[in-house]
């Protein structure tokens, strides 16, 4: 029987690249996100290219009731081997005294509370079937704090902390827990952060080669495919041209 992966935020960027790579590796997939049209198109492509089974769930991870709809999946689908907690975003880049409180709430509700809601449901399934692996997508922003990154950095520091907490709490149930913390990855991330300002978003990646979503997907595949006795706890991955959030070699 094929393994099952549940990927949050599969409609773009890192989540979408993971969906394609795990489909290629013959995983059946539960894919979630808010944009149904994108989920439908992705599912259709993966089923036809790889012959896997795909279950899509349109949900906003901020909405606890929508997340709990995961419980309506059949018992077969609840045998999830791998959860990739990927859905997340940054909104705005302003000093703490003038940032938008609405943006702060969206980031906190998505990156922290959403990740917790999904984890609570899926970790219970993993406990029931006695194994599983949770991979949390953190960020270099969860290891460092940079100018005007304030609330986004705080949410990713929370993911770093929750990653450690999950590993401790789920140890008796033999569930692996990993965080992967990327530096700059060229996805829709900056366009979302700068609210559709494509020029400003493009400038983030000017003059150097950023990571691509595929680089992160391949790293996640490496982590997920280690033998049962090996767990990668924490992994920081950066473009070669990036030494820290504020040290970039632009040419
Ligand atoms: P994208 O913007 O390309 O993708 C983000 C994904 O998250 C989309 O599928 C989006 O789906 C989903 N998402 C956002 N908000 C919600 C929500 N409320 N409910 C459900 N799904 C949601 O960005 P990335 O692929 O880059 O981001 C993926 C993760 O990687 C994030 O956690 C991000 O913080 C992290 N990261 C990104 C880095 C980068 O430089 N790009 C670096 C380090 C970490 P939809 O809009 O359809 O709901
Ligand atoms: C995304 C990377 O440096 O823009 O998490 O915060 S950064």
Q: What region, left, alpha or beta, does residue 223 occupy, with left being phi > 0 and alpha being psi -120 to 50 degrees?
A: alpha
Residues 6 or more apart in contact with residue 127 via CB below 8 angstroms? 170, 173, 175
Residues having CB within 6 Å of any atom of ligand 1: 8-15, 33-35, 60-62, 86-89, 110, 114, 137, 139, 182, 184-185, 187-189, 192
Nearest bound ligand to the CA of residue 210: 1
Rounded Cα–Cα distance for residues 58 and 204 (Å): 30
Domain locations in the chain as residue ranges: 4-248
Q: If you measure from the C-alpha of residue 89 to the centroid of ligand 1, how many angstroms do you get, rounded to a whole number?
A: 5
- What's the pLDDT tens digit per position in 137-192? 999 999 999 999 999 999 999 999 999 999 999 999 999 999 999 999 999 999 99
Atom of ligand 1 nearest to the CA of 87: 7
CATH code 3.40.50.720 for 4-248: yes
Rounded Cα–Cα distance for residues 125 and 108 (Å): 25
Rounded Cα–Cα distance for residues 26 and 222 (Å): 15
Rounded Cα–Cα distance for residues 209 and 230 (Å): 31
For every one of its 251 residues, what pLDDT tens digit does the chain have, with 9 covering 90 and above?
899 999 999 999 999 999 999 999 999 999 999 999 999 999 999 999 999 999 999 999 999 999 999 999 999 999 999 999 999 999 999 999 999 999 999 999 999 999 999 999 999 999 999 999 999 999 999 999 999 999 999 999 999 999 999 999 999 999 999 999 999 999 999 999 999 999 999 999 999 999 999 999 999 999 999 999 999 999 999 999 999 999 999 99
Catalytically active residues are 152
φ and ψ of 177, to 5 deg: -135, 130
Residue pair 31/55 in contact (Cβ under 8 Å)? The answer is yes
Q: If you measure from the C-alpha of residue 80 to the centroid of ligand 1, how many angstroms do you get, rounded to a whole number?
A: 21
Taken as a whole, the chain contains a residue count of 251
- Answering whether pTM is above 0.85, one says yes
């Amino acid at each position: 029987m094929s393994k099952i992966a549940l990927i949050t935020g599969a409609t773009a960027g890192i989540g979408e690249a993971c969906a394609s790579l795990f489909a290629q590796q013959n995983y059946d997939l539960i894919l979630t996100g808010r944009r149904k049209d994108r989920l439908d198109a992705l599912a259709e492509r993966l089923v036809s290219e790889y012959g896997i089974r795909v279950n899509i769930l349109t949900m906003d991870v901020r909405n606890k009731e929508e997340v709990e709809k995961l419980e309506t999946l059949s018992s077969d689908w609840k045998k999830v081997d791998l959860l990739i907690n990927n859905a997340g975003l940054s909104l705005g880049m302003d000093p703490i005294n003038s940032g938008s409180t609405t943006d702060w709430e969206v980031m906190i509700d998505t990156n922290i509370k959403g990740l917790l809601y999904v984890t609570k449901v899926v970790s219970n399934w993993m406990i029931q079937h006695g194994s599983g692996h949770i991979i949390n997508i953190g960020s270099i922003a969860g290891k460092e704090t940079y100018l005007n990154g304030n609330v986004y950095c705080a949410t990713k520091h929370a993911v770093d902390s929750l990653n450690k907490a999950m590993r401790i709490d789920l140890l008796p149930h033999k569930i692996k827990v990993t965080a992967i913390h990327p530096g700059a990855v060229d996805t829709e991330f900056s366009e979302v952060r700068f609210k559709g300002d494509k020029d400003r978003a493009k400038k983030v990646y000017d003059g150097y080669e950023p990571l691509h979503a595929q680089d992160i997907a391949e790293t996640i595949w490496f982590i997920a495919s280690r033998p049962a006795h090996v767990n990668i706890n924490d992994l920081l991955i950066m473009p070669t041209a990036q030494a820290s959030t504020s040290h970039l070699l632009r040419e």
